[in-house]
A and B are shown apart, each in its own frame.
Chain A
Amino acid sequence: VVTRRPALATIVIDPGHGGEDPGVRGAAGSEEKRLTLEVARRLKALVEARLGLRVVLTREDDRALTVDERAAVANNNKADLFLSLHANGAPGGSRAGAEVFFVRLDDEGRAVRGAADAESVVLPVLGGASRRIDVIRWDLARANHVDESEILATMIAAELQGRVPTATPALQSGLIRVLMGANMPAALVELGYLTNEEQEAAMQSDAFLASAAQALFDSIVRFGEYLQKRPSR
C-alpha cells in the first residue's frame, strides 16, 4: 500500500528582523521584531494544536539572522510552506493596512525557470519508475514555486481582509530577498504599518494579534486544501 505524503507536513514561520535589527520602530516605541515574534508564536501554537503539523520558527527569541539563514531553515527542514512575517513603514505616516508579498520574477528569474524546465534531469528510482530532478541555482530556487506562491499570497490577502485593516491593494509582488532562496511556496506578510500612529496602537492589542494569527491559520488551511486537490506532479 502506497500512502500519499500529506501536502502540508512542515511549515516554517519567519519572524522578521531580530537582535540588533529592530526593523520598523513606531512613534510610540513599538518594534517590528517583537510584533513579528509574537504573531509567529501564536500562529505556531494554532497550527500545531489544530492541524498537528510540524512548525519551525526561524528564531524562537530575539536574535539576528541573515536572510539566507532564514531561507536555509525552510530548505533544510524541507518545509512545504514558508511564511515571513513583518511590519511595514512608509513616509508620511498615513499609509495603513496589511499587505502580502509574493516574488515577481525578473528577467533572470524567468530565464532560470525556463532553463530549469529544459534542463531537468530524469533519474530512475526503485521499482522501474523515474523521478524528475530540477537543476537550478540555490539562490533562485524560488523560480520553481512562483505560481503557487502567488496563489498562497492571494489566499492570505483574502483571509486577512475583514479580520484586520488591509492596504489597497493588499496583494503585492516584488523582488523580496528572503523569499528568493526558499524552495517551496512562500509569502511575506506585512501585518500593518507601525509608522501610522493609530495602527501602531491597534497592533499592540490582543484582539489584533489574535485576528492576524487566526487569518494566517485559515489561509494555511485553505492552501493545504488547494494542494490536496491539485493533480500530483
Chain B
Amino acid sequence: VTRRRTIQIVAALALFALLAWAVNVVLQRLAEPPAPAAADTDSTPPEPADVPHITATLFYAGIDGQALLRVQREVPLATGTVPQGREILMVLMQQEVPAPYVSVIPPGTTLRAFYVTERGDAFVDLSGEVTRNHPGGSFAELLTVYAIVNSVITNLPTVQRVQILIDGKEAETLAGHVDLRRPLTPDLSIVRGSGAR
C-alpha cells in the first residue's frame, strides 16, 4: 500500500509540474508583444496600389496645345496641406502623362520647395530648368504658369494664391512674358470647358 501510495504521490507531483510549466508558457506568450505582420513575408516594398491615394484635378495641355484641360490623376495621400501640395506638384511635373494630354512643365524641372503662409499664399520653388528649357511664347508661358497655379489651388482649399519662385528667388517671368513678381490667383480663361474656350 505504501509503495502504491508513493507512486500516486509522484504521479500527482509530475502532473502538477506539467500543469505549472504549461501555465507558465501560456503566460509568457501572452506577455510578449505581437510579432510584426511582415515578419514572415518578403521585404519587397508594397505595390503602388497599396499606397493610399487621392484623386486630384491636375492641369495639362490637350494634344492640340489650344488650352489647359482638367485631368483626374491619382496622387499619393499625404498628411497636411504642405506634404499633400508637394505630392500634387511632383505628379504634375512628371513628363509621362497619359494620352491624349501633354505636360506643359519644361523637362528637367524639379520642385525645390513648397510652403504655405498663414495668409494662404503658397510658394512653389522650382529649379532653373523651368526657365532654361521653356519653349517661349506668351501662350506657352501662360499654360505653364496656370497649370501650376490652378493645380495647387484647385486641390488645396486653404491656398488662395500661388507665387512661383525660381532657384529660391523671386522671378520676373518664366520666359519674358507673364509677371511672376506677386502671388497669382487661378486663371480659368485658358482652361477648356470653363466658358472662355
Contact = CB atoms under 8 A, between A and B. Distances in A.
Interface residues of A, number: 39
B182 interface: yes
A15 interface: no
Contacts of B13: none
B44 to A, nearest CB: 38
Interface in A107-132: 107-108
B168 interface: no
Nearest to B187: A174
Interface residues of B, number: 31
Interface string B17-52: 000000000000000000000000000000000000
A93 B178 CA distance: 21
B136 A24 contact: yes
Given A106-B182, A108-B182, A87 B176 contact: no
B184 interface: yes
B162 to A, nearest CB: 12
A91 B187 CA distance: 19
Nearest to A101: B138
A91 B65 contact: yes
A73 B45 CA distance: 60
Interface string A74-107: 0000000000001111111111000101000011
Interface stretch (A150-158, A187-195, A206-214): A187-195
Contact of A90 (B139, B177, B184): B139
A198 interface: no
Given A95-B66, A174-B138, A90 B143 contact: yes
Interface string A1-45: 000000000000000110001011100000010000000000000
Contacts of B66: 90, 92, 94-95
A61 B26 CA distance: 92
B136 A90 contact: no
A175 interface: yes
Contact of B179 (A88, A91, A95, A180): A180
A63 interface: no
Nearest to B137: A89
Nearest to A93: B65
Interface string B37-74: 00000000000000000000000011111100000000
A67 B180 CA distance: 12
A99 B139 contact: yes
Contacts of B63: 92
A195 B64 CA distance: 12
Contacts of B102: 91-92
B185 A174 contact: no
B64 A176 contact: no
Interface of A: 16-17, 21, 23-25, 32, 66-67, 86-95, 99, 101, 106-108, 139, 169, 172-178, 180, 188, 190, 193-195
Interface of B: 61-66, 102, 104, 135-140, 142-143, 172-173, 176-182, 184-185, 187, 189, 196-197
